[in-house]
Amino acid sequence: QVQLVESGGDLVQAGGSLTLSCAASGTILEINAMGWSRQAPGKQRELVAAITSGGITNYADSVKGRFTITRDNAKKTVYLQMNSLKPEDTAVYYCNADKIVAWKGGNYRNFYDSWGQGTQVTVST
């Protein structure tokens, strides 16, 4: 079984910075692409940033130049550095992995589309 656990959400003033972390737990052989999405009240969940296992990144237009996604494959952790935060960045932030190869029941198995429980980011004016 695998689990993604986010941390780092907080209340911050506009213009401030936060770094979110998401660690994968379990006996993991490899993790493919990972990403961060967010969901504000009354809105649909949207992809914020993604990173492949090789480090290729992709960002939503609304966060380009302000957010940076990185990953540490040895630590099985993905990070989201958020700078110049705006009130409209307020949301629950979720990390996900499109495929994790992990040990379960005597074999390595593929776990698709895994999500964390979310961490709240609130940006005040």
Q: For residue 10, give both structure tokens.
A: 């907080």
pLDDT tens-digit map of 51-84 = 999 999 999 999 999 999 999 999 999 999 999 9
Instruction: Name residues whose C-beta falls within 8 Å of residue 55's C-beta, 6 or more positions apart in sequence.
Output: 71
Q: Cα(28)–Cα(8) distance, rounded to whole angstroms?
A: 23
Indicate whether 1 pLDDT > 90. Answer: no
Among 4, 31, 32, CA closest to 20? 4
Six token digits for residue 60: 């939503």
Taking 90 as the threshold, does the pLDDT of residue 8 lie above it?
yes
pLDDT tier, 86 (very low <50, low <70, confident <90, very high otherwise): very high
pLDDT digits 0-9 by tens, 18-55: 999 999 999 999 999 999 999 999 999 999 999 999 99
pLDDT in tens, 99-113: 999 999 999 999 999
User: Which two three-digit tokens encode residue 110?
Assistant: 């593929």
CB–CB of 86/94 below 8 Å? no
